[in-house]
């Protein structure tokens, strides 16, 4: 858990690279603290996948392992709780009040799937991004320009400046997985394996 925490809060920001592209307009100066390569570890996706995996393991201990003990279940509960905290920070970054109305592109969360990389900073796209189907990278491909929300907030845009907010999956599905983990913690608490009161979030 500690390695994921370090990766999310300290290492991931360093992977946002600064490049020069003829299709992007930016006055940002390169910063020496950034490494000049794309993100390769998909930290946000790893947090999500690990939470789903640990939640399933906790459910097995609670439902299918009659001889489960406090010492075997409580550490897993703490892992799940910490992963929920990390995912909450990710979901806060990805959340839009209009998430129900946003166009959904290819489902990044299908088996074996994942999001693209931001065409400017190289960050892995977890769920939300801005796309332009009209502009191209100038490399012969017809893939849409894709920018992460952070780059757009910092003023970066495609050439025609008509990028559309999109999502590569359902925010409600991600929140459902998050809340499912909370329900399992609640079950563990009722069984005497966990002390804290879990909080379930609304998708409003």
pLDDT tens, residue by residue, 93-151 = 888 888 888 998 888 888 778 888 888 888 889 999 999 988 876 655 677 889 998 88
* The two three-digit tokens of residue 180, written as one number: 């499912």
- Residue 51 within any structural domain of the chain: yes
Model confidence pLDDT, tens digit, residues 26-83: 444 444 444 546 777 789 999 999 999 999 999 999 998 888 899 999 999 999 999 9
Number of domains forming the structure of the chain: 1
d(CA 74, CA 161) in angstroms, rounded, equals 51
Judge contact between 129 and 96, C-beta under 8 A. no
- Residue 200 within any structural domain of the chain: no
- Residue 196 within any structural domain of the chain: no
SS (H, E, C) 154-175: CCCECCCCCCEEEECCCHHHHH
Judge contact between 131 and 164, C-beta under 8 A. yes
Contacts (Cβ under 8 Å, ≥6 apart) of 166: 102, 103, 104, 105, 128, 129, 130, 131
Model confidence pLDDT, tens digit, residues 10-32: 777 666 554 434 334 444 444 44
Q: What is the pLDDT of residue 140?
A: 56
Q: What is the residue range of 68's domain?
A: 2-190
- Residue 198 within any structural domain of the chain: no
- Residue 201 within any structural domain of the chain: no
Of 167, 41, 155, nearest to 102 by C-alpha is 167
- Residue 6 within any structural domain of the chain: yes
- Residue 203 within any structural domain of the chain: no
pTM of the entire predicted model: 0.81
């Amino acid at each position: 858990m500690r390695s994921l925490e370090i990766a999310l809060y300290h290492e991931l920001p360093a992977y946002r690279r600064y490049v020069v592209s003829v299709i992007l307009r930016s006055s940002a100066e390169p910063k020496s603290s950034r490494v000049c390569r794309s993100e390769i570890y998909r930290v946000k996706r790893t947090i999500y996948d690990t939470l789903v995996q640990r939640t399933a393991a906790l459910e097995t201990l609670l439902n299918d392992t009659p001889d489960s003990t406090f010492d075997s279940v409580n550490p897993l509960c703490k892992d799940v709780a910490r992963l929920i905290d990390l995912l909450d920070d990710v979901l806060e970054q990805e959340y839009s009040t209009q998430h129900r109305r946003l166009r959904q592109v290819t489902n990044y969360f299908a088996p074996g799937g994942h999001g693209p990389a931001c065409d400017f900073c190289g960050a892995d796209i977890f769920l939300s991004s801005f796309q332009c189907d009209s502009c191209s990278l100038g490399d012969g491909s017809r893939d849409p320009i894709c920018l992460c929300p952070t780059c757009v907030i910092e003023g970066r845009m495609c050439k025609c400046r008509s990028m559309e907010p999109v999502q590569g999956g359902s925010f409600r599905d991600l929140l459902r997985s998050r809340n499912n983990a909370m329900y399992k913690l609640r079950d563990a608490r009722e069984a005497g394996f966990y002390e804290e009161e879990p909080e379930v979030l609304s998708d409003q």
